[in-house]
Amino acid sequence: MKIPIRNLYYLFLYAWAQFPDGAMGEAGIDESPDLPNLFAKMLAAGTRRMLRRGLDRGYKTFTHEVVGPRGRLRLDRMIKEATQLRGTAICDLDELTHDVLHNQVLKATLASLAICQDVEKAARHDLRALGKLFYDVEDIRLSASDFRRIAVSRNNRQYVFLMRLCEFVYWSLMPDERGARSRFQHVLDDEVRMSAVFETFLRNFFQFHRTEYRVRAESPTWHVTDATQDDLALLPRMITDITLRQSDHTIIIDAKYYKTTLAKGLYGERVKSDNLYQLITYLQHERNSQKDRALSGMLLYPDVGRSLHLKYRLLDIPVLVATVDLAQEWRAIEKQLHGLLEDCAAAARSTNGQKSSPPGIL
């Protein structure tokens, strides 16, 4: 899948909730030849911005031998080391420090990307120079659990974007043959990881631009009868990718990122059945719980050489199967996404016999 570097930049900004209208800045994105160099520039720009604002600090406990008792006395060590003979006490002191986990992750990611041979020499030098400014932050060996332990609060929410970027870089780097450096994987071909990015991008895009809707991922309740609580506990959890709600209608979007959009079988190409079944399940349960609300659904894929704009009415619910071309100009992408949403809204309203403009998809 070929996506221009500027579009990838916007895609990841939206996915990681750092919207283009914000203060991130583009930092010479157009000069980035590929994804590793794009991430290097994004990481460097974000780190500089963080350093200008001042790195976050947190309290850590340090143990010191002091003349005047402060903090919490460590009587166990004082007795063992007989510090009273020296006229000192051993105390645990809470001190503000830059040496907190999110700064450790940022420093480690700067170092990791600085030894990636897919990153240009000038960018690697820039990353190493930035890493040296973290002189009072401990060097750590990154692990997946580190990202689960990062605590982001209102005071340090500016770290959210950088931590998402660091985590994506972590999963994308792999050791080279010699083990001294690393290589960047072909991330755009990773359907699992890019599916999550594509889904979050779409949800955040609509949340940011279509404020007339309440936009979020939702967990519909199964419509079940004649089942015990034990039986109900074993049902899988349903989670929609994107649910958009307005006063008179609801739109459920299932976002899929595949290298091939249609399934190939004995009788030619078809819409992927499991994708369609999943969306229809969401729509059926939504209709059961909100009988008086207009409803429509959409399966949305990136365009991989086959544009789709398929219109169906399944179980009397309008369903659109469509693609968005991520290789076109970004403004055209925005226009296409708004148009697809308007199509779904018009189709939903037309189901209830309401007058809609522009005309529906069906």
Q: In sequence order, what are the beta bridge partners of 314?
A: 317
Q: What is the pLDDT of residues 186-204, one digit of tens each?
A: 888 889 889 999 999 999 9
3-state SS string for the chain? CCCCHHHHHHHHHHHCCCCCCCCCCCCCHHHCCCHHHHHHHHHHHHHHHHHHHCCCCEEEEEEEEECCCCCEECHHHHHHHCHHHCCCEEEEEEEEECCCHHHHHHHHHHHHHHCECCCCHHHHHHHHHHHHCCCCCCCCCCCHHHHHHCCCCHHHCCHHHHHHHHHHHHHHEEECCCCCCEEECCHHHCHHHHHHHHHHHHHHHHHHHCCCCEEECCCCCCCCCCCCHHHHHCCCCCCCCEEEECCCEEEEEEECCCCCCCEEECCEEECCHHHHHHHHHHHHHHHHHCCCCEEEEEEEEECCCCCCEEEEEECCEEEEEEEECCCCCHHHHHHHHHHHHHHHHHHHHHHCCCCCCCCCCC
Query: What is residue 360's predicted lDDT score, i.e. its pLDDT?
Result: 40
For the domain made up of 192-351, the CATH class stated in words is alpha beta
Q: Where are the domains of the chain?
A: 5-56+99-187, 62-97, 192-351
Q: How far apart are the C-alpha atoms of 41 and 35, rounded to whole Å?
A: 10
* Residues near 331 by beta carbon (within 8 Å), at least 6 away in sequence: none
Peptide bond into 318 cis (omega under 30): no
Q: How far apart are the C-alpha atoms of 100 and 32, rounded to whole Å?
A: 31
pLDDT by residue, tens only, the chain of 362 residues? 688 888 999 999 999 887 765 445 565 677 778 899 999 999 999 999 999 999 998 888 888 788 888 778 888 888 888 888 888 988 887 888 899 999 999 999 999 999 999 999 999 999 999 999 999 999 999 999 999 999 888 778 889 999 999 999 999 998 876 666 788 888 888 898 899 999 999 999 999 999 999 999 999 888 888 889 899 889 999 999 999 999 999 999 999 999 899 998 888 899 999 999 999 999 999 999 888 889 999 999 999 888 999 999 999 999 999 999 999 999 999 999 999 999 999 999 887 654 444 444 43
Q: What is the pLDDT of residues 97-151, one digit of tens each?
A: 899 999 999 999 999 999 999 999 999 999 999 999 999 999 999 999 999 999 8
Q: What is the pLDDT of residues 67-108, one digit of tens each?
A: 888 778 888 888 888 888 888 988 887 888 899 999 999 999
